[in-house]
Amino acid sequence: MNSLNAYLLPLCVAFAGNLLYHVASRGAPRDAAPLWLLSVAYLVASAAAGVVAWRLHGTGGLSRNLLSCATPVLALAVIMIEAGFLLAYRSGASVGTASLLVNAGVAAALIVVGSVVFAESYSLQTWAGVLLTLLGVLLTASARNPAS
């Protein structure tokens, strides 16, 4: 199995989840405080993930390493992402433009992080794609489209 096939299904799951996430965030009740909304959503997600983990892995994979320094950093990142999008959508940001700006910017930044921090190598074609992505982000951000 080549590497594309190995991660195609997980990426499709991530795609579907990301799509659901943005639609749900844009349609979230406006009278619910964003951090309370996230707290309840993550209680439900935690319970569901625990059930699925138990069914798939039993107690295998449970270890003290689950509480490594990556865990609180991941938790903080999740709160920042979720609260940022909820607040942006409540401020009138377009669901398509907001996600495009953030995700394209993150993708370009991660190419640099991958290269510098993780010593990943990228082709000239990849770096050209990063420049085009950044140009697209700049063009999108500078467009004077009304928020919808």
Mean pLDDT throughout 3-11? 80
pLDDT at 4: 66
Q: Is the pLDDT of residue 41 over 70?
A: yes
pLDDT at 144: 62
Q: How confident is the model at residue 7 (pLDDT cuts 50, 70, 90)?
A: confident
Bigger pLDDT: 74 or 59? 74
Q: How far apart are CA 57 and CA 117, in angstroms?
A: 32
Mean pLDDT throughout 14-27? 91
Q: How far apart are CA 68 and CA 61, in angstroms?
A: 14
* DSSP structure string for the chain: --HHHHHHHHHHHHHHHHHHHHHHHHTS-TTS-HHHHHHHHHHHHHHHHHHHHHHHHTTTT-SGGGGSTHHHHHHHHHHHHHHHHHHHHHTT--HHHHHHHHHHHHHHHHHHHHHHTS-----HHHHHHHHHHHHHHHHHHH--PPP-
The residues spanned by each domain of the chain are 3-142
Measured distance between the N- and C-terminal CA atoms of the chain, rounded to whole angstroms: 44
- pTM (two decimals): 0.77
Q: How confident is the model at residue 145 (pLDDT cuts 50, 70, 90)?
A: low
Q: How confident is the model at residue 6 (pLDDT cuts 50, 70, 90)?
A: confident
pLDDT tens digits, residue range 61-102?
A: 777 777 788 888 989 999 999 999 999 999 999 888 888 889
Following CA atoms 138, 121, 99, 13 in sequence, which dihedral angle do they give, to the nearest 10 degrees? 160
Q: Is the pLDDT of residue 44 over 90?
A: yes
Q: Is the pLDDT of residue 148 over 80?
A: no
Mean pLDDT throughout 114-135? 90
